[in-house]
């Protein structure tokens, strides 16, 4: 559709909570194929740029200003392709440099809702190609009478109540090493850092080196301008080292401050994504942390609580994320990993969204 037609007739859109995030899900065929026109339309739909996103459906925070675009896949053994876009809140930006493991939780149900995948009895499995990263995910979730079942008993910290469990496995698609520099740790600005990418590129740092205890609220950390400047300086140096190029305008890598566990878990985290501080932690961020804790010499390895094979309890500002990772080392010493996460998702609103006519 042209932008003019979209403004007049609207666009078919499913609003979903995916894990601890919320986003607008679209079929690729319902959006313009021209990238500039698509991005312009999405900014108008979300109400950006505006700190309150008052004239759009964005939720005025990076965790609720997200878009998922889904299409049938031509790749062998894959059902659907998922493109994630981070829509700037107070900036007119549309970023595709990262994926989102939380919106990923809604992709399987969305594919069934829109008829891209047929439900298979009581449980349905959807194979998903993550276009942003090249990774492959498998999502398994309950279905009843050919439709996704959202109701269930699974709980995740950061989301009130309970919902149906969605099991996610991510990894193995792109031939990417877990440690992009090949080192368990590197030095940046006089700090020992670990650069790790288990589906989400992150920089692991020791909280105490930045005057952070590790129990601070996201709001308190966001209010510290000097801390923000120090982290941004490290982030800009880490980007090229991780093969991400100039990350000045990008939302990756994420900066994660680690401190000893406080609630019986493996480690405590505060994640800068990268400007706002996450109210919990991203799925793939937790997977990157959990994998690094198992690598001798990585930041966090020495302060981690006891690790069990089946779960790494990653503590965050609103609870704990139980992340399961399989970490293995190739004969040539390259570390690789796959992650398994339990999430929930919910269909919130299905309908027609009307983009703002003018910016």
Note the residues at the interface with ligand NQM (CB under 6 A).
20-21, 62-63, 100-102, 200, 254, 273, 282-285
- Closest distance of CB 63 from ligand NQM, Å: 6
The dihedral sign for the CA sequence 280, 283, 284, 288: positive
Q: How far is the CB of 82 from ligand NQM (least distance, A)?
A: 12
DSSP state string for 301-349: TTT-----SS-EEEEETTEEEEEEEEEEE-TTS-EEEEEEEEE-EEEEE
**Nearest CB to ligand NQM, comparing residues 119 and 126:** 126
Separation of alpha carbons 325 and 305, rounded Å: 16
Of the two residues 88 and 261, which places its CB atom closer to ligand NQM in the complex? 88
Q: Of 51, 47, 50, 77, give the one whose Cα is nearest residue 67.
A: 47
Q: Which residue has the closest beta carbon to ligand NQM?
A: 282
CB of residue 211 vs ligand NQM: minimum separation in angstroms?
24
Which CB atom, from 34 or from 90, has the smaller least distance to ligand NQM?
90
Which residues are paired to 154 by β-bridges? Answer: 163
Beta bridge mates, 312: 323
Q: Which is nearer to ligand NQM, 183 or 276 (CB)?
A: 276
Max alpha carbon distance in the chain (Å)?
A: 59
With respect to ligand NQM, which residue has the nearer C-beta, 63 or 266?
63
Q: How far is the CB of 74 from ligand NQM (least distance, A)?
A: 25
CB of 310 to ligand NQM, least distance (A): 20
What is d(CA 193, CA 184) in angstroms, rounded to the nearest whole number? 9
**Least distance in angstroms from the C-beta of 50 to ligand NQM:** 19
Burial class of 46 by CB neighbour count within 10 A (0 to 12, 13 to 18, 19+): buried
Question: Mapping DSSP to helix (H, G, I), strand (E, B) and coil, where does residue 8 land?
Answer: helix
Which residue lies nearer to ligand NQM by CB, 13 or 273? Answer: 273
**CB of 217 vs ligand NQM, minimal distance in Å:** 17
**CB closer to ligand NQM, 200 vs 207:** 200
**CB within 8 Å of 287: residues ≥ 6 apart:** 101, 170, 198, 199, 200, 323, 325, 337, 339, 341
């Amino acid at each position: 559709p042209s932008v003019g037609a979209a403004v007049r007739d609207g666009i078919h859109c499913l609003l979903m909570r995916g894990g601890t995030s919320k986003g607008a899900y679209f079929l690729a065929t319902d959006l313009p194929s021209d990238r500039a026109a698509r991005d312009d339309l999405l900014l108008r739909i979300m109400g950006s740029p505006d700190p309150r996103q008052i004239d759009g459906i964005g939720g005025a925070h990076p965790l609720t200003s997200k878009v998922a675009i889904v299409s049938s896949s031509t790749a062998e053994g894959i059902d659907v392709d998922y493109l994630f876009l981070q829509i700037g809140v107070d900036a007119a930006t549309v970023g595709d440099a990262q994926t989102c493991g939380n919106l990923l939780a809604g992709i399987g149900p969305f594919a069934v809702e829109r008829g891209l995948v047929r439900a298979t009895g009581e449980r349905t499995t959807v194979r998903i190609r993550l276009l942003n990263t090249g990774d492959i995910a498998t999502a398994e979730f309950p279905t009843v009478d050919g439709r996704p079942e959202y109701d269930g008993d699974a709980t995740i910290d950061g989301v009130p109540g309970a919902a149906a469990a969605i099991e996610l496995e991510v990894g193995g698609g792109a031939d990417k090493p877990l440690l992009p520099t090949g080192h368990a740790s590197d030095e940046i600005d006089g700090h020992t850092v670990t650069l790790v990418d288990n589906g989400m590129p992150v920089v692991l740092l020791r909280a105490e080196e930045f005057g952070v205890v590790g129990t601070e609220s996201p709001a308190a950390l966001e209010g510290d301008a000097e801390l923000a400047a120090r982290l941004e300086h490290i982030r800009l140096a880490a980007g090229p080292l991780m093969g991400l190029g100039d990350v000045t305008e990008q939302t990756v890598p994420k900066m994660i401050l680690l401190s000893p566990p406080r609630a019986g878990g493996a480690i405590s985290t505060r994640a800068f994504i990268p400007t706002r501080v996450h109210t919990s932690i991203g799925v793939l961020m937790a997977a990157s942390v959990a994998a690094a804790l198992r690598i001798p010499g990585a930041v966090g390895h020495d302060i981690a609580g006891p690790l069990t094979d089946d779960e790494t309890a990653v503590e965050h500002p609103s609870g704990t994320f139980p992340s399961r990772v399989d970490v293995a080392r190739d004969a040539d010493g390259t570390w690789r990993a796959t992650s398994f996460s339990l999430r929930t998702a919910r269909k919130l609103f299905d309908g027609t969204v009307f983009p703002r006519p003018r910016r």
